[in-house]
Amino acid sequence: MNLKFIKCDKCPLMLIYGYYLVKYWLILMVFVQCGLIGMLKNVVICLFYFTICYQFRRDAQKITGMGTLYLTTKSQI
């Protein structure tokens, strides 16, 4: 197993240990930690963008709803 393919910027110390101590459990531990950190980072970013997009969409629906309501009431007058 080669550690060059594992790209992780959050645990370089673990990667250095993995280069010098060639043990499978250590490589597995590095991979699991990098994977978990990357996964958590992606989840946090996705939740952040989702809340922002949801808020904007809700506000846009309110604005367009008010606009259509205004147009329908103006056309009825």
Burial of 37 (0-12, 13-18, 19+ CB in 10 A): middle
User: What pLDDT shows up at residue 48?
Assistant: 73
Cα 57 from Cα 54, distance rounded (Å) = 5
Q: Is the pLDDT of residue 4 over 50?
A: no
Cα 40 from Cα 32, distance rounded (Å) = 12
DSSP state of 9: S
Tens-place pLDDT, residues 40-61: 676 676 677 777 666 666 666 6
pTM of the model: 0.32
Cα 16 from Cα 12, distance rounded (Å) = 6
Chain-centroid distance of CA 18 in Å reads 27
